[in-house]
Amino acid sequence: MDKFVIEGGRRLEGSVRVSGSKNAVLPVLAATLLTDEPVVIPNAPDVSDVRQMLKVLEGLGSKWERSSEGVLTVRSAPVPHNEAGWDCVRKMRGSVAVLGPVLARTQHARVSLPGGCVIGVRPVDLHIKGMRALGATVELDSGDIIATATGGLRGEEMYLGGAQGPTVLGTANVMMAATLARGRTVIHGAACEPEVVDLGECLNKMGARISGLGSPRIEIEGVDRLHGCTHSVIPDRIEAGTLVIAGSITGSRVRVDGCRPDHLMILLERLREAGLPHQFGTDWIETGAFDIRRKRPKPTDVTTLPHPAFPTDLQAQWMALMTMADGMSLVTETIFTDRYMHVSELMRMGANIRRQGASSIVMGPGHLKGTQVMASDLRASAALVLAGLVAEGTTEVHRVYHIDRGYARIEARLAELGACIARVDDHPDAIATDTAPAPDVIVPVRAAKVAKPAKPAPAKASAPKAQPKPAAKPAKAPVKARGTRR
């Protein structure tokens, strides 16, 4: 198991390119089960969630290969296996997206209820509702979803919204199943997220007939079969937003290339409200350099809601930024109301945050100090890394396997911008004890390799007295954490 060791107080500088979207590529990978022809994804990100999804597909009989240039090619079996057990899907919620394609292709599917980050209840009731609307018989048995559609699925008109609004993955699941259903399917209350639009565009390339993408009403005309295609997924808007916030929280000039600013307009609007300098173009966003100790961000109020409102996947990162603001900010989470496990860790670093129901009140400006913190989920770990970039001293972020689920080599990419961040083995002999520069100095540094800790030198025992004292404990030599290990 690894951890990140971060020396705070470094200003960033430079440009970084955004990867393909993790949240978009997972349902696209599931869609490869709808045809036995190859589907080529030139820009699939090399993150652990994608690798896990490929294992799920392997268990269903698919073959895949990734070229040296990173191009991913996936081909389903002529007759896919129709069972995805707990061992396959327990690590990732996105794996439930295979339910619709397998059911449509084989008329029977048994998929274990999925795992993933602990961020609150995320039921699959709307997935089941959609499959039943398409004519399937669905039941739960021993933690598995068992769906049967003898004679095939049939198109139907349905409302797919829930108590907390539209379901992104549920919309994707039903949309994929409906492509091979007989007749017309209309989904009311469909999710409008860019990842749903991207999946629909991929399915249309495969021969599907889908209209209304990006609106709450999606219409699908069923077809007899789909074929292979080549499809580049959209840039990862959450990764782009995280990198933009990294530039803003450190008062740095950071240019994020290859992104879609139109997918992040709410974030750019909140940056404007906070008085944080930035510019953007067709496919780039650039934050402006300023002294964050002299020019604090203005406080803001943010409420997470379905797209195009503020995304829940940027809530934790925005909260880290607001700890630097001059005044009281309010962050309200309406999508996953338990998604506040990063709050206690930010408070360990010195943030002044109070939880009140579905909201968190952030009182700034805080004086963050480095300490040891624990990542609880993918986006919380990103927030702790951002806080570590500006904290005084050394921050150690444990359980970084969470961040590896959605960010490819994030420590190396931040180091290339000038951050002092290292990935090291998470064991007692690899603890860094360096301190950051004086608070009034922000100096760009180049990342270097992490030095291994020196062996402790034995201490000399003190001279005996009337009451003998035990020998002093050996002192560990300080270790500097500089750079990355890829």
d(CA 252, CA 286): 9
Q: Which residues are catalytic?
A: 117
CB 19 within 8 A of CB 235: yes
CA atoms lying within 13 Å on the CB side of residue 173: 29
d(CA 297, CA 325): 4
DSSP 235-299: B-HHHHHHHHHHHHHTT-EEEEES--GGG-HHHHHHHHHTT--EEE-SSEEEEPP--TTTSPPPP
d(CA 221, CA 148): 21
At residue 114's C-alpha, the angle toward residues 108 and 117, to 5°, is 160
Task: Give φ, ψ of 260 to 5 degrees.
Answer: -120, 95
Task: Give φ, ψ of 430 to 5 degrees.
Answer: -115, 25
- CA trace torsion 171, 177, 180, 186 (10° rounding): -40
Residue 436 CB neighbour total at 10 angstroms: 21
